[in-house]
Structure formats: structure tokens, C-alpha cells
Amino acid sequence: MGLRQEQLGGHMAAAVTGLDLNDQLDEPTQATLIEALHTNLVLCIRGQSLAPVPFRNAMARFGTPMLRKQLAQTTECAEVNIISSEDRDELGDGRKLVNGASWHTDDSFMRAPCSLTMLYGVVVPSSGGDTQFINMYAAYDDLPAETRARIDKLKVVHKYESSRRTGRVAKRPKAEMAAMPEAIHPLVRTHPETGRKALYLNPNRMEQVAGLDRVESDKLLDALIAHAIQPKYQYRHVWQQGDVVIWDNRCTMHKANADYPAGERRLMHRVIVAGTEPF
């Protein structure tokens, strides 16, 4: 059939068709996918039908899959997490929990956050349940020169349970929390493969800018977040059954929307791949 590519958003996101990720891709095709991801930040591969192990194997072509116990795992493959409309805060209050409902970038509470996230639409509701993305390259590039000069060397403390968090986060066992100490990351990170600079924000995990008092830190972070989440930097992905969406956490933020009809399911499988400490 042959690979075909189309733009989805005006400044980010592309879709490709004509691939079956159950098959072994040749090197030129894989290189085309990686280039499309680097260019568009968000890449959707349409029309897939993947069991957990083949999904993990397909995503391993983009990097090393990682275990993450913060989300449920499939019985067939521990590297494949489950994100479901039925998720609950099992160790907390037991209420339903919408994972990723606030703007964030995955794993920033880790000292070496994941680089990419892959989400596969196993069950997609008839409407709603979209995922929104932000182009953090563009958000950085549009800042005034004096602001960029001010923030280029600043670092931020990130925590799993930040006092600034904008949404609920699932409670985790004490032993697991002890293995997730504070992480300090640059406010502006340089992408290791493209060489471009991007704002590195996570409203749900950032605690404080290192070296600034709390009032000044909050003022700066609030201003940068308000700037970054402007609609002109956003792309909203409307899911189709069988979509595999891959995004680059080093230059995007994203959030999930739980606005699908009552009684309908939304079931996603997720794989993340290893990253390095930001610089």
C-alpha cells in the first residue's frame, strides 16, 4: 500500500497510513517515522490492531521500553500500561481518577524522564476523550529575548507530589515514593537530537525555581505556563479506533479530556521509552 503522510495541525502533528506495526519495518521506513516525529512532535499511525506484546515490540523500534508502576500493567506485557475510564485512586480515596487531566509532560518527577510516550487507542468513545498537545519549541521561541536570556540557565525542582499541583495524582506506596526523590531539571531544555530549545514545564510536578524565593518563583512559573497554554500553541487530537499516537515529551506538554458520553469506555495502552537527564 505504501506509507502516506498528512499534516494534522498547522504547527505540529502529522498522521501516517499504510503501515501495519505488527510487521517488521525496514530501516528507511523507520527512519521516515523518526524524522516525521522530530519534525512534527506528535505522530499518529492510523489503523492499527495490536496485542500488548506486538505493541511493545513496535514501540521498541523508537527506544528502550520502560516499566512504570504508577499505572496498571497488562498481564501479557509489563511494559504496557493501561489507561482506562475506570481507573481509580486505589491507595487513596478510591474515587475515579482521570490520568493526565491537567497539562503535564510525562515523568518530569524522575531524574531521567522518559523521552517518548506511545498511546494506542484500544477502545475509543463515540465522541470526546481527545488529547491536547502544546508545541513547547514555539512557546519558547515566541518569548521576548530578555525573558529567554533570564530563564535559559534556571533550574526547577520537580516532585511527584508537588504543592503546586493542578490536579489529583494517584497515591503511591511509601517504598515507591522513597525511590522517587526530587529531580532538578532545566527550565529550558535542549533537545538531544534536534538541538532546539524548548520550555520544559510540568504544572502538576514543578515545586520551585532553584535560587528564587517562593513568591518570585510562583510568579515566573505562572507567567510561563499561561504563555505556553495559549490556543495558538495547541493541537487537539481527535482519536480514531486503532490510532497509535507517539509524542516527544522533551518538547511538548499534553493533557487528556474526560468529556466522553456517560457510560462509554475509553481504554488506552501506553508504552514509554527511556530518556536521559535533561540539559
According to DSSP, residue 61 is labeled G
Mean pLDDT of all residues in the chain? 92
* pLDDT at 16 (0 to 100): 97
Contact 250, 191 (CB under 8 A): yes
Q: How far apart are CA 18 and CA 133, in angstroms?
A: 24
266 within a domain of the structure (yes/no) = yes
**Count of structural domains, the chain:** 1
Other Cβ atoms closer than 10 A to 8: 16
* pLDDT at 20 (0 to 100): 97
Burial of 103 (0-12, 13-18, 19+ CB in 10 A): buried
Tens digit of each residue's pLDDT (9 = 90 or more) over 224-243:
999 999 999 999 999 999 99
Distances (CA, A) of 61 to 14, 21, 58: 19, 10, 6
248 within a domain of the structure (yes/no) = yes
Contact 225, 201 (CB under 8 A): yes
278 within a domain of the structure (yes/no) = no
Reduced to 3 states (helix: H, G, I; strand: E, B; else coil), residue 174 is helix
User: What is the CATH classification number for the domain harbouring 256?
Assistant: 3.60.130.10
In this structure, what are the phi and psi dihedrals at residue 4, rounded to the nearest 5 degrees?
-125, 145
Tens digit of each residue's pLDDT (9 = 90 or more) over 63-115:
999 998 878 899 999 999 998 877 655 545 556 666 778 999 999 999 999 99
108 within a domain of the structure (yes/no) = yes
pTM here is 0.92
Residue spans of the chain under pLDDT 70:
1, 87-98, 168-173, 176-180
Residues 6+ apart with CB under 8 A from 175: none
According to DSSP, residue 141 is labeled H
Instruction: State the chain's maximal CA–CA distance in angstroms.
Output: 58
Distances (CA, A) of 72 to 10, 140, 205: 35, 34, 21
**What range defines the domain where residue 239 resides?**
4-273
* pLDDT at 98 (0 to 100): 67
